[in-house]
């Protein structure tokens, strides 16, 4: 058994090290790699490539053969020599002939090595566009790999099988609504991954999917199957890509500013931005970066799911609310700037409808230089999409540097978690609450729950460590504040009060 390489020297890739650790330790022979699986990542030779290419190149070591399958293409073997050796092992397994007996039979029949393959090449050809045939063939190859003939393995290497777009082959849906082919594939994979003989051998299967919730849960929830998340690019990965890009006219400070300002972008989106800058002779504006980040976030989560803005006004433009502004300037903003152990998860903001809650706290975000992410409707009408949206949101929050999340009408946005609630509603509310109390997001994400009915806010949101623990009231303006507002309103007309 050959250990899988754990990472790249070009930039840290935690998912690659975690997957390799699970395989090398034998903790699991089937892994779901989910998240930002459609992006580009650096290999140790400095080239940027897709995850299937990265895994195939990184894990193709002596004693290990990597096979990649995608639904619209053939089985791709890491090298032709390994393919030929696996084909010979397949023939010995299917015919019961030893290596020497097989050579003698070929010699007696006047056949070349490729002419007697016990249907191997035919099955590989049939697998193109036929995922049911492909999955069964791959399962049989694992059986062949661990077979012994006269005390010797018919195939000495370990197999690593990469299955792209696994959610298209094993879609999440009630069994009653699955077609016959879908059920057959589900049965093949369930038996394959749960097989004790497979789990005690050293072959492995890696399922690639954008969201684990889109993969059929009869497979995803098997105890033998473990999951590894591919997070969105962090600042180290963005720095590495910007450093590798041939951008003339940009000094180290400008490159660092780009790396800081592009938090939330995928490498593909960052590449598009850099190509535009290169075409423009190295000239760029911070507003271009903001617009690209906003467009990317909206494309990932949907216009009807979130809103994104970078407030340009500050608390000096808020008329009235003197005591509230003093609290924000002297207590809350310094604590948010400081971070560390004193960081807050968030706050619940209560006040009458139309009292200016949103404007005031957008001004606070403007003082901090933090973007504002407004959660609108996280629920989707399509089966499984709500869970996928939450997974994308979690990845984006980890990728963003610092952000204020504003939830308007929070008393209605968060559903019930009681026994009468729908399963999707319970999962949605539970995952949002878990993100609020996630230690890795503390100091990076500040939640603001805006509501006119603080009494209707769920008790789970008001417990210590979550946003509702701190309640900030937006009270009706006092008389001198109302006078100040009237004076400000009439000022453009030249009327003094």
Residue-level pLDDT, tens digit, the chain, 497 residues: 455 444 444 567 999 999 999 999 999 999 999 999 999 999 988 889 999 999 999 999 999 999 999 998 899 999 899 999 999 899 888 887 554 455 445 444 555 444 456 688 889 999 999 999 999 999 999 999 988 877 888 898 999 999 999 999 999 888 888 999 999 999 999 999 999 999 999 999 999 999 888 899 999 999 999 999 999 898 889 999 988 877 766 788 888 888 888 888 999 999 999 988 888 887 888 888 888 888 888 888 776 777 888 888 888 888 888 889 899 998 888 888 876 667 788 888 998 888 889 999 999 999 988 888 888 776 655 555 677 778 888 888 887 778 898 988 887 776 555 555 556 667 777 778 888 888 888 888 898 988 888 888 877 777 777 777 788 998 888 888 788 888 878 877 777 76
Q: How far apart are CA 217 and CA 199, in angstroms?
A: 19
Assess contact for 5 and 59: CB atoms under 8 A. Answer: yes
Assess contact for 449 and 410: CB atoms under 8 A. Answer: yes
Which helix (H) or strand (E) covers residue 318, if one does?
A: none
Assess contact for 49 and 244: CB atoms under 8 A. Answer: no
Q: What is the pTM of this model?
A: 0.79
State the virtual CA torsion across 127, 130, 133, 139 in degrees, nearest 10: 80
**How many residues appear in the chain?**
497
- Report which of 399, 379, 400 is spatially closest to residue 388, judged by C-alpha positions: 379
Question: DSSP letter string over 365-412?
Answer: HHHHT--EEEE-----SSTTHHHHHHHHHHHHHHHSSSEEEEETTHHH
Structure confidence at residue 127 (pLDDT): 92
CA distance readout (Å), 195 to 192, 200, 462, 465? 5, 9, 46, 43
Q: How far apart are CA 471 and CA 411, in angstroms?
A: 14
Structure confidence at residue 198 (pLDDT): 95
Structure confidence at residue 5 (pLDDT): 45
Go through the domains of the chain in sequence order and give each one's CATH number: 14-230 (3.40.50), 235-300 (no CATH), 306-479 (3.40.50.300)
Assess contact for 162 and 50: CB atoms under 8 A. Answer: no
Dihedral-angle region of residue 474 (phi above 0 means left; psi in -120 to 50 means alpha; beta otherwise):
beta
**3-class SS at 346?**
strand
Contacts with 96 (C-beta within 8 Å, 6 or more apart), sequence order: 149
Locate 39 and state its tokens.
């992006």
Structure confidence at residue 248 (pLDDT): 66
Residue 115 phi, psi (nearest 5): -85, -25
CA distance readout (Å), 45 to 6, 97, 230? 15, 42, 21
Structure confidence at residue 434 (pLDDT): 81
**3-class SS at 466?**
coil
Locate 399 and state its tokens.
């990728």
């Amino acid at each position: 058994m050959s250990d899988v390489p754990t990472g790249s020297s070009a930039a840290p890739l935690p998912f690659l090290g975690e997957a390799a650790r699970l395989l090398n330790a034998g903790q699991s022979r089937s892994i779901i790699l989910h998240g930002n699986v459609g992006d580009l990542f650096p290999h140790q030779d400095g080239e940027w490539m897709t995850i299937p290419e990265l895994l195939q190149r990184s894990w193709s070591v002596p004693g290990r053969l990597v096979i990649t399958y995608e639904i619209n293409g053939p089985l791709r073997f890491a090298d032709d020599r390994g393919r030929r050796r696996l084909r010979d092992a397949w023939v010995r397994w299917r015919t019961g002939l030893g290596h020497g007996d097989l050579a003698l039979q070929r010699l007696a029949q006047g056949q070349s090595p490729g002419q007697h393959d016990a249907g191997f090449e035919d099955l590989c050809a049939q697998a193109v566009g036929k995922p049911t045939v492909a999955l069964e063939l791959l399962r049989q190859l694992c059986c062949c790999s661990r077979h012994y003939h006269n005390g010797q393995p018919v195939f000495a290497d370990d197999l690593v099988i990469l299955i792209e777009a696994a959610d298209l082959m094993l879609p999440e849906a009630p069994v009653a609504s699955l077609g016959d082919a879908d059920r057959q594939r589900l049965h093949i994979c369930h038996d394959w991954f749960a097989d004790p003989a497979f789990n005690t051998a050293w072959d492995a299967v890696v399922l690639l999917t954008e969201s684990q919730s889109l993969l059929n849960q009869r497979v995803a929830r098997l105890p033998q199957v473990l999951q590894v998340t591919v997070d969105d690019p962090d600042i180290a990965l963005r720095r590495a890509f910007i450093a590798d890009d041939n951008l003339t006219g940009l000094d180290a400070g400008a490159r660092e500013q780009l790396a800081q300002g592009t938090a939330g972008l995928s490498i593909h989106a960052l590449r598009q931005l850099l190509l535009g800058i290169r075409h423009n002779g190295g000239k760029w504006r911070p507003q271009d970066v903001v617009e690209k980040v906003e467009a990317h976030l909206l494309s990932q989560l949907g216009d009807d799911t979130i809103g994104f803005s970078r407030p340009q006004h500050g608390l000096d433009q808020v008329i009235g609310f003197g005591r509230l502004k003093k609290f924000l300037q002297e207590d809350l903003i310094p604590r948010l700037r400081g971070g560390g152990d004193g960081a807050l998860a968030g706050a619940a903001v209560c006040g009458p409808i139309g009292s200016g809650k949103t404007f005031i706290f957008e001004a606070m975000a403007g003082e901090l230089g933090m973007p504002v992410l407004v959660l609108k409707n996280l629920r989707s009408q399509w089966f499984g999409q709500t869970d996928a949206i939450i997974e994308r949101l979690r990845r984006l929050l980890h990728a963003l540097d610092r952000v204020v999340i504003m939830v308007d009408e929070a008393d209605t946005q968060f559903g019930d978690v009681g026994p009468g609630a729908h399963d999707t509603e319970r999962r949605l509310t539970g995952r949002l609450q878990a993100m609020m109390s996630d230690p890795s997001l503390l100091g990076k994400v500040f939640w603001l729950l805006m509501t006119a009915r603080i009494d209707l806010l769920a008790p789970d949101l008001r417990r210590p460590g979550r946003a509702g623990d701190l309640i900030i009231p937006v009270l009706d303006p006092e008389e001198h504040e109302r006078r100040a507002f009237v004076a400000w309103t009439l000022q453009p007309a030249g009327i003094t009060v």
